[in-house]
Amino acid sequence: MSMKQEKLHDLSDDMFQPAKIDSSENEQIARESTGFWKDAWRRLKKNPGAITGLIIIVAIILLAIFGPGMNEHSYSEQELTRAKLPAKVPVLENIDFLGVNGVDIRGTDQYEAKGYEDEYFWFGTDEFGRDQWTRVWQGTRISLFIAAAAAFIDFVIGVAYGGISAYYGGRVDNILQRIIEVLVGIPNLILIILFILIFEPGIFSIILALSVTGWIGMSRIVRGQVLKLKSQEFVLASRTLGATSGRVIGKHLIPNVLGQIIITTMFTIPSAIFFEAFLSFIGLGLRPPEASLGSIINNGFRSLQIYPHLVLWPSIIISLIMIAFNLLGDGLRDAFDPKLRK
Amino acid sequence: MEKILEVNNLHVSFDTFAGEVQAVRGVNFHLNKGETLAIVGESGSGKSVTSKAVMRLIPNPPGRIKEGEIKFGDRDLAQLSEKEMQKIRGSEISMIFQDPMTSLNPTMTIGKQIMEGLVKHQNMSKSEAKERAIELLKLVGIPNAEGRVNEFPHQFSGGMRQRVVIAIALACNPRVLIADEPTTALDVTIQAQILELLNDLQEKMGTSIIFITHDLGVVANIADRVAVMYAGKIVETGTVDEIFYNPQHPYTWGLLGSMPSLDSTDEELIAIPGSPPDLLDPPKGDAFAPRNPYAMKIDTEMEPPLFKISDTHYAATWLLHEKAPKVEPPAAIKKRMQGMAPSEPIIGAKDGGKNV
Amino acid sequence: MGRYIGGRIISMLITFLIIASLTFFLMKLLPGTPFNNQDKLTETQIVQLNDKYGLNDPVPVQYFNYMKNLLSGDLGVSFQQDGREVSTIIGERIGPSAYLGLQSLVVGTIIGLFLGIIAALKHNSFLDYGTMVIAVLGISIPNFVIAGLMQYWFGVKWQLLPVAYWDGFAYTIMPTVAIASIVVATIARFMRTEMLEVLGQDYITTAKAKGLSSTAVVIRHTIRNASIPIITIMGPLVVGLMTGTLVIEQIFVIPGLGEKFVNSILTNDFPIIMGTTLFFSILFIVVILLVDILYGIIDPRIRLAGGKS
């Protein structure tokens, strides 16, 4: 068991003098402490999926803002002689497999056939000869607007409702929660459809319809978080240490609840975009010439077999938006709550 | 005495994103037939990892046994295949865990959980296994065993659940039982019952026990020998009496000093300053040096070897070197050493607890 | 348990009455007339039709009649299809929808469970990442996009599967894939998380310490316990499936309830809209109730907690 004892005799005497150990060094915490947001951002940066999502979202928002103005066509400008042209993009048109050379699925160059050799419609044109690029980005703009507005309304109602419910507690909480119980018993799909049937399809009725039940999830999360935090020991601890209510709310409540709110919003937006598109499919979407991504795709389905580009481009964009928000939402969830990380 | 298990130069590491964490860094110990060896240390000292390594239950990845041997009879457990190891686990070496609230499957009746091992290792039929399960439940002191065998874990209290866990571990009469902090999660009164049960069962079945704990008070009640672990190494090992009444390592002094005792009320508890080293980057020299008030220059440069104090007592501290200055242990420890000098007949707490 | 279920059934009935009343009054607020060929109808004909369907009665009387009929299982008659019973129409249409929904649910659940289990067992491997990519895509890409892409590539371009309509098993493949994608993704993701959670539990170490083979540990202890919470997401999933069938039946021109519902919306056929709405609501409420009861039966912790209270 023991080491070669004889070797140990060679050690010099001064080795056995007391060592100066700086005990303060030992007590130091190795890592610098970081704030909640900084810490979350540091974790988010390490998540390639979330960063990809973020970049896609920024790119799509920029295109939704500037895309419709990037060529000379307006979203409602009709010209039947150039209807249903496939996509054609300068430079990229020379790369065959991309399929953006203006040749349709039967192999004829529609631009040549219809006499528009010098024109470029980056996503092609629709059945009225409207520029699909402009319409798609216009539609993206509207889809994003609807989703953002619905998410904002959810946020306002949800935070107020959940906050009041948790803050006052007791009877108020009891009544408010019974109301929610009844509401969640009703399939939201049914409520949304009935709502739009009554108020006629339009941007604002769609936003309102999506918010009718949308806020419930947010209110539950806010209520749950506030209740949890109210009873948590660190809040009690900081109160005991003399922290004011304002400080407790500012330092503990808001960062914790806000994280959850942001995550919920990140998942509300794609689901609102999906629902809006879904409404177009069941005939309750926007009325032309107004268009959202959903209604553009729905229109495209009518001529899918011959003009797939009318479905393809908006489909890719709506899918990218959904993927990006889901990736970012997942990433934020991990970043705000590392315990959940797997 | 016959050595039933011998661990030589065991190294266990975990590969994490931050790098290799050397949780166990060259541990040597042995377990004699029929005895109880207590492995004592702070959290993170590597005592649980050592015991899991013996069972080969270190999740891989990230963990791996880097080197060393675990001799069990003529086999080296570190080299066995997973299949061969499965035959040993539960039948020859068993383990009980810290938290009885989580170590039972919540969706399976306790009867079935006991029967699993019996069916696997002893080729029993279901009905035989069930009978044996009821016997085992009686053995570990569960009243109305026939009725309770069909109940689920959540219908049992914490202490009762730990009895069930012990019944599972003892189902196949293992030669070695590893108890990983089996009383830590329990109330003090229940702790005593479980310790008594383990002592009883050891006598009835002749099992050798490795008892992992951070609680020296528990050690006095149950162990024959003690190994003190610090930062992935064993720093002192000896019989219970040697460790309690003639401790040599400053870390053992610290552990004993931080343990309250009933017989002296004026005694001050001594805290060990600082915290254990980061095993991602273990310090050069003696890992305990930064927290050691007796640290010498050599401690910061060379790791101390194990110095022999008696045939059963070894400690790894340069203070035992012939050139080291003679240091005075803390007053409380000195009192122990003087008041209960090993020359006097000792009525060890262990024997008192055991009620032999 | 019995009392719990009784209580749940009562609250279910209350919810149902609320939905029925809500549907009725919202329908009364709708603009437009219910008759599709109203331009050709004379004033007197419209009055006659209104009389026939009781639309001239005061609203409370209509409400009372409506609720009375409803409780006896009568959902009224279609305005568009010469007074055919709504319940008959639903009966005719439910077949393809139910078939599609169940097939998607079963296939999706099986594949999802399989992927989730493999991903967790091979945690941080290529298979794990692959499953996570499938899960994110399945959750993100709208079912109509999947349907459209399949319809174009498999149906039109490569002609491997029928593009649309409802005539035998081959016609169910693409709709099933489109609807099941969200099921696969949701279940795979959920199962993976649950598996990883369970694999980290102490009782898994206990099971290993008993000397059980890895297969026994995985099947008897891990998968079993990990799949129990799956039941809790079944409710929302089934609702998602209903939403899915509405669109997918449209796209693939499947003569199901969803397609009928959408057409009724376009033609203002109120009784059918109301009848189908109520039908979907009942389905939704019953599924949620069944899920709760099932969960109680399968998880012993809940089963006993429920029994004691």
Chain segment A100-123, per-residue pLDDT in tens: 666 666 666 666 666 666 666 667
Mark yes or no for CB contact B102/C201 under 8 Å.
yes
Ranges of H-type helices in B207-348: 216-222, 240-245, 250-257, 331-339
Looking at residue A341, its pLDDT comes to 42
Contacts of A18 in chain B (CB under 8 A): 294-297
Contacts of B324 in chain A (CB under 8 A): 16
* Cβ neighbours around C39 below 10 Å, total: 6
Between helix B158-170 and helix B188-205 the angle, nearest 10°, is 20
ipTM: 0.80
Q: Is A71 on the interface with C (CB under 8 A)?
A: no
Mark yes or no for CB contact C148/A304 under 8 Å.
yes
Contacts of C277 in chain A (CB under 8 A): 190, 193-194
Partners of chain C (3+ Cβ pairs below 8 A): A, B
- The C-alpha angle A279, A280, A285, rounded to 5 degrees, equals 85
Convert the pLDDT of each residue in C96-153 to its tens digit.
888 899 999 999 999 999 999 999 998 888 999 999 899 989 888 888 888 888 888 8
Looking at residue C116, its pLDDT comes to 93
Percent of chain A with pLDDT over 90: 8
Looking at residue A22, its pLDDT comes to 57
Tell me the count of B-C CB pairs closer than 8 A: 80
Looking at residue C113, its pLDDT comes to 93
CA B205 vs CA B172, B201, C52: distances in Å = 11, 6, 90
Contacts of C216 in chain B (CB under 8 A): 116, 120
* Cβ neighbours around B270 below 10 Å, total: 17
Mark yes or no for CB contact A297/C145 under 8 Å.
yes
Report the C-alpha gap between B210 and B74 in whole angstroms: 19
Going by pLDDT thresholds of 50, 70 and 90, the confidence category of residue A58 is: very high
With H, G, I as helix, E, B as strand and everything else as coil, classify residue B19. Answer: strand
Please report, in angstroms and rounded to a whole number, the separation of the first and last CA atoms in chain A: 43
Tell me the count of A-C CB pairs closer than 8 A: 120
Mark yes or no for CB contact B116/C300 under 8 Å.
no
Contacts of C206 in chain B (CB under 8 A): 97, 103-105, 113, 165, 168
Q: Which of B86, B97, B168 sits opposite C213 (nearest CB)?
A: B86
Parallel/antiparallel/unpaired status of strands B208-213 and B36-40: parallel
Which of A8, A25, A43 is best to mutate for the B interface (most B CBs within 10 A)? A8
User: Could you tell me which CATH number the domain at C86-302 has?
Assistant: 1.10.3720.10
Contacts of C214 in chain B (CB under 8 A): 82
For chain C, give every domain's residue range: 86-302
Do C111 and C104 form a contact (C-beta atoms < 8 A)?
Answer: no
Q: Which of A282, A308, A315 sits opposite C145 (nearest CB)?
A: A315
- The Cα of C140 is separated from the nearest Cα of chain B by a number of Å equal to 30
Going by pLDDT thresholds of 50, 70 and 90, the confidence category of residue A268 is: confident
Partners of chain A (3+ Cβ pairs below 8 A): B, C
CB < 8 Å from A in window 247-286 of B: 273-275, 278
Mark yes or no for CB contact C300/B154 under 8 Å.
yes
Mark yes or no for CB contact A18/B305 under 8 Å.
no
Cite the residue boundaries of each domain of chain B with CATH code 3.40.50.300: 3-223
Residue corresponding to tokens 């196949």: B172
Report the C-alpha gap between C259 and A201 in whole angstroms: 19
- The Cα of A175 is separated from the nearest Cα of chain C by a number of Å equal to 16
Q: Which of C192, C242, C251 sits opposite A189 (nearest CB)?
A: C242
Contacts of C202 in chain B (CB under 8 A): 97-99, 102-103
Q: For residues C267 and C116, which has the higher predicted lDDT (pLDDT)? A: C116
Report the C-alpha gap between C282 and A299 in whole angstroms: 32
Looking at residue B68, its pLDDT comes to 87
Looking at residue C304, its pLDDT comes to 47
- The Cα of A210 is separated from the nearest Cα of chain B by a number of Å equal to 40
Average pLDDT of span C190-200 = 90
Mark yes or no for CB contact B169/C300 under 8 Å.
no
Do A134 and A76 form a contact (C-beta atoms < 8 A)?
Answer: no
Q: Does the pLDDT of residue A264 top 70, yes or no? A: yes
C60: cis peptide before it, omega within 30°? Answer: no
Contacts of A297 in chain C (CB under 8 A): 144-145, 148
Mark yes or no for CB contact A1/B308 under 8 Å.
yes
Contacts of B9 in chain A (CB under 8 A): none
Lowest model confidence (mean pLDDT) among A255-259, A325-329, C186-190: A255-259
Report the C-alpha gap between B303 and B288 in whole angstroms: 10
Do B153 and B104 form a contact (C-beta atoms < 8 A)?
Answer: yes
Do A110 and A306 form a contact (C-beta atoms < 8 A)?
Answer: no
Mark yes or no for CB contact A278/C145 under 8 Å.
no
Return the H-helix or E-strand segment holding B37: strand B36-40
With H, G, I as helix, E, B as strand and everything else as coil, classify residue C2. Answer: helix
CB < 8 Å from C in window 295-314 of A: 297-298, 300-301, 304-305, 308, 311-312
Contacts of A24 in chain B (CB under 8 A): none
Q: Does the pLDDT of residue A160 top 80, yes or no? A: yes
Looking at residue B263, its pLDDT comes to 59
Lowest model confidence (mean pLDDT) among A248-257, A326-335, B65-74, B310-319: A248-257
Mark yes or no for CB contact C210/B90 under 8 Å.
yes
Mark yes or no for CB contact A283/C266 under 8 Å.
yes
Going by pLDDT thresholds of 50, 70 and 90, the confidence category of residue A209 is: confident
Q: For residues A186 and A29, which has the higher predicted lDDT (pLDDT)? A: A186
Q: Radius of gyration (Cα) for chain A, nearest Å?
A: 29
Handedness of CA A151, A157, A159, A161 (dihedral sign): negative
Mark yes or no for CB contact B325/A30 under 8 Å.
no
Contacts of C300 in chain B (CB under 8 A): 106-107, 152, 154
Q: Is B30 on the interface with A (CB under 8 A)?
A: no
pTM above 0.90, yes or no: no
Average pLDDT, consecutive stretches of 10 residues, N- to C-terminus, chain B (356 residues):
85 82 85 89 84 86 84 86 87 87 88 89 88 88 87 88 88 88 80 84 87 84 88 87 83 78 61 74 73 72 79 80 74 68 41 36
Q: Is B26 on the interface with A (CB under 8 A)?
A: no
Looking at residue C59, its pLDDT comes to 78
Interface of B with C (CB under 8 A): 55, 57, 82, 86-91, 94-95, 97-99, 102-108, 113, 116-117, 120-121, 152, 154-155, 165, 168-169, 171
Q: Which of B90, B98, B102 sits opposite C211 (nearest CB)?
A: B90
For residues A297-328, one letter each, b for 16 or more C-beta atoms within 10 angstroms of the residue's C-beta and e for the rest, the string is bbbbbeebeebbbbbbbbbebbbbbbbbbbbb
Q: Which of A2, A11, A30 sits opposite B323 (nearest CB)?
A: A11
Report the C-alpha gap between C66 and B3 in whole angstroms: 87
Which of C191, C201, C242, C243 is best to mutate for the A interface (most A CBs within 10 A)? C243
> Regarding the domain with residue range B3-223, which homologous superfamily does it belong to in the CATH classification?
P-loop containing nucleotide triphosphate hydrolases (3.40.50.300)
Mark yes or no for CB contact A26/B274 under 8 Å.
yes
Looking at residue B338, its pLDDT comes to 67
Looking at residue A101, its pLDDT comes to 65
Do A219 and A165 form a contact (C-beta atoms < 8 A)?
Answer: yes
- The Cα of C185 is separated from the nearest Cα of chain A by a number of Å equal to 13
Kindly give, in sequence order, each residue whose CB lies less than 8 Å from that of residue C52, ignoring residues fewer than 6 positions away: none
Q: For residues B126 and C50, which has the higher predicted lDDT (pLDDT)? A: B126
Q: For residues A247 and C284, which has the higher predicted lDDT (pLDDT)? A: C284
Q: What is the DSSP letter of B179?
A: E
Going by pLDDT thresholds of 50, 70 and 90, the confidence category of residue A323 is: very high
Residue B22 sits at φ, ψ, to 5 deg, of: -90, 85
Q: For residues B291 and C60, which has the higher predicted lDDT (pLDDT)? A: C60
